[in-house]
Structure 1
Amino acid sequence: MANDGLSAGAAARRLGVAVTTLRTWHQRYGLGPSRHEPGHHRRYTVEDMVRLQVMQRLTAQGVSPAEAAAWARRSPSVTSPDALTTPDPAAPPDPPVPPDSLPLFGDAPADSPAGSYFDDAPPGSYFGDAPAGGGQTIALGPRADPAARGLARAAMRLDAPAMRYILESAITHRGVLAAWTKVMMPVLIGIGERYEVTERFVEVEHLLSRSITEVLSTVPRPPRDITPRALLAATDEEQHTLPLEALAAALAENGVPSRLLGARVPPRALMDAVARTGPAVVVLWSQLPSTGDVAQLERLLDLPHPPVVVAAAGPGWPVGALPPPVTPLNGLAEALRIVSAACA
């Protein structure tokens, strides 16, 4: 950077934000350029840029802009321009040191809605009902977890490194169950609601889903000498698998290996997999009523040696029409408990 500082446009490009964002941070929170010479535009100094980087990282993790700005203004100044070298976009940002009062990665509260894993989304909708009105943001509600708010902001910016950083931190500090119910699901639901209202933001949902898949896949799996006794699969023509990926990761976190077949598993392929592996439990996921064909469950029950547990997960199943031996799963916590017990 030149000795006379950065222009607003150059600073915005360095941070990867819009110039209007810098103007807002300047006007509302006092995080503006400090170098000024008569007859010239103000310029962002090294110290200014460090404060803006703190602001950017904290808001990405869910801290309110006012609190983030207050913390950024307290950040120590630096004297080396090396602090402003362009970061590697593939590397996660360094974790900030937030005030102790900010529960960025605290434990999930006791009222954590574990049941939202399978049963919150109504039949026919992957993410939930749409509220009235439109908007360019993801509405999460006043009690939303700070990490969920940060994830929503990163998702709307299509900031994959920030999303992965937040998701990895949530899983590391809270575990898969709390990360899914308190951080991932609210944002997925919010994006779905925005789509229902605006028919936009498909790219946001796709990138977020991909980021969640990538992070869930990094949860360490049990040793390979432990034979998986759980088989997880989406029903025929069902394309949604994120809840099954969350279940597989939560099981692995608890030392239970599983086989995840993925989306759109034809009935014959499922039967062949069951015959070949002899699982103790089979979990079939159906998101939409069009994919919740009870005949797929009945085929499993009619096998000469059926699995100990045949479980129906997801809002696509007609709960009242499920065969009595089928176990409906009502939440990730319950699914984790039942599948783990069946595999013991």
Structure 2
Amino acid sequence: MGGPPGQEAGLSVGAVAQRLGVAAATLRTWDRRYGIGPSRRSTGTHRRYTSADITRLEVMQRLILAGAPPGEAARAALDAPPGEPLKPRGHGAGGNRVPVGAAAQGPEGAEIRGLARAAMALDAPVMIDAVRTALGRDGVVQAWNELVVPVLDGIGRKHAATGDCVDVEHLLSTVLLGCLAEVPSPPQPRNTRPILLACAPEEQHSLPVYALKAALAEANVAATLLGARVPVRALAAAIRRTGPNAVFVWSQITETGDPSWLSGLPASRPPHHLVVGGPGWADDRLPASATRVGSLAEAVAGLTSVYERF
């Protein structure tokens, strides 16, 4: 590469980004914010990453995946002697880790770690590629259960423990919503009457409902998604307007899980089937007319069979 004998030629930012699986913009941000960047220059003004630089970046990535904030991970990677095992500062082993559970072993575990790493680095392009790949290869239900849920669960636990990662969760949710929206609606659905999907009043956690809509589309079932925080009157009006086969209502948190209003939803002809999902519901007070589902797969199975009943 034109350098003195024995001197490392070094790699460009694009080559290092490809090697580490992050965006080049992320590497430039790490260099600018945390001073963990290329240490030598090639001919002209271009800077090159040496093998030592790349090792530091790999250490930083591992620490971010383990739950350290990027700034802390960069400082640890820059300060530690070469070859010394590193842990996030100020935390016991595993105490600030983004847990992914038993599924973090093997090829599936590598995908979970990759998505978690990209999320912690706020690397949207890598997140989009990972989610799209999983959805296209495995379908919505499997990708949701085996990739998305473990990563979201890990980020949620870290937030509960430290108060951090709100930005990480929001960006990942945005990426997931975009990827799920790319699942095409069925051109000739199996159901002639719609299925309504809604969140309970004041329930803002709508991502699982978007996953359900995409999974139903894969099963060739059309659904109308009303979104988050659907007032009772609005859901009642939608039932009257559409005469749905089924109505699905999601509650994520106990504050939105009071089911007393469900029995007051208007009837339709033929009668619709009421299905509820999410951990927020007070199960002991659900109306007898409601069917409780406990997973995305169970919701899909129940709702895809509804159209055959009427």
Same fold, TM-score > 0.5, yes or no: yes
Change in Cα spacing, 1:43 to 1:168, as seen in structure 2 (3 Å) is closer
What residue number does 2:257 align with? 292
What residue number does 1:242 align with? 207
Change in Cα spacing, 1:203 to 1:34, as seen in structure 2 (3 Å) is closer
Alpha-carbon distance between aligned partners in 2 of 1:160 and 1:294, rounded to the nearest angstrom: 37
**Contact 2:240 2:268 survives alignment (8 Å):** no
State how 1:163-182 maps to structure 2 within 5 Å: 163-182=127-146
- Deviation string 1:210-251 (CA, Å, 9 cap, x unpaired) is 100000000111117874521000011000111111110000
Change in Cα spacing, 1:296 to 1:11, as seen in structure 2 (3 Å) is same
SS for the counterpart of 1:294 is coil
Alpha-carbon distance between aligned partners in 2 of 1:269 and 1:175, rounded to the nearest angstrom: 32
Change in Cα spacing, 1:237 to 1:12, as seen in structure 2 (3 Å) is same
- Deviation string 1:128-156 (CA, Å, 9 cap, x unpaired) is xxxx9742x52213432321111100000
Alpha-carbon distance between aligned partners in 2 of 1:230 and 1:10, rounded to the nearest angstrom: 47
Alpha-carbon distance between aligned partners in 2 of 1:164 and 1:33, rounded to the nearest angstrom: 30
> Quick check: 1:263 aligned with 2:228?
yes
Aligned partner letter, 1:315? P
Alpha-carbon distance between aligned partners in 2 of 1:21 and 1:183, rounded to the nearest angstrom: 32
- Aligned-pair distance for 1:16? 3.2
Alpha-carbon distance between aligned partners in 2 of 1:159 and 1:228, rounded to the nearest angstrom: 40
State how 1:1-344 maps to structure 2 within 5 Å: 5=9, 14=24, 16-17=26-27, 18=30, 44=49, 134-135=95-96, 137-144=97-104, 145-223=109-187, 227=192, 229-300=194-265, 303=267, 305=269, 307-344=271-308
- Aligned-pair distance for 1:177? 0.5
Alpha-carbon distance between aligned partners in 2 of 1:262 and 1:15, rounded to the nearest angstrom: 33
Q: Once superposed, which parts of structure 1, at least 4 consecutive aligned residues long, lie more than 3 Å away?
A: 2-16, 18-23, 32-36, 42-45, 224-228, 304-307
Alpha-carbon distance between aligned partners in 1 of 2:41 and 2:167, rounded to the nearest angstrom: 39
Change in Cα spacing, 1:293 to 1:163, as seen in structure 2 (3 Å) is same
Aligned partner letter, 1:303? A
SS for the counterpart of 2:103 is coil
Aligned partner letter, 1:258? A
What residue number does 1:91 align with? none
Aligned partner letter, 1:312? V
**Contact 1:163 1:211 survives alignment (8 Å):** yes
SS for the counterpart of 1:269 is helix
Alpha-carbon distance between aligned partners in 2 of 1:206 and 1:228, rounded to the nearest angstrom: 34
Question: Structure 1 regions of 5+ residues with no counterpart?
Answer: 24-31, 37-41, 61-131
Percentage of pairs with the same residue: 42
What is the CA RMSD across the aligned residues, in angstroms?
A: 3.6
Aligned partner letter, 1:264? R
Question: Structure 2 regions of 5+ residues with no counterpart?
Answer: 4-8, 18-23, 63-92
* Count of residues paired in the alignment: 250
Normalized against structure 1, the TM-score is what? 0.64
Change in Cα spacing, 1:304 to 1:7, as seen in structure 2 (3 Å) is closer
What residue number does 1:27 align with? none
Normalized against structure 2, the TM-score is what? 0.70
SS for the counterpart of 2:130 is helix
Alpha-carbon distance between aligned partners in 2 of 1:240 and 1:176, rounded to the nearest angstrom: 18
Alpha-carbon distance between aligned partners in 1 of 2:240 and 2:120, rounded to the nearest angstrom: 44
**Contact 1:285 1:312 survives alignment (8 Å):** yes
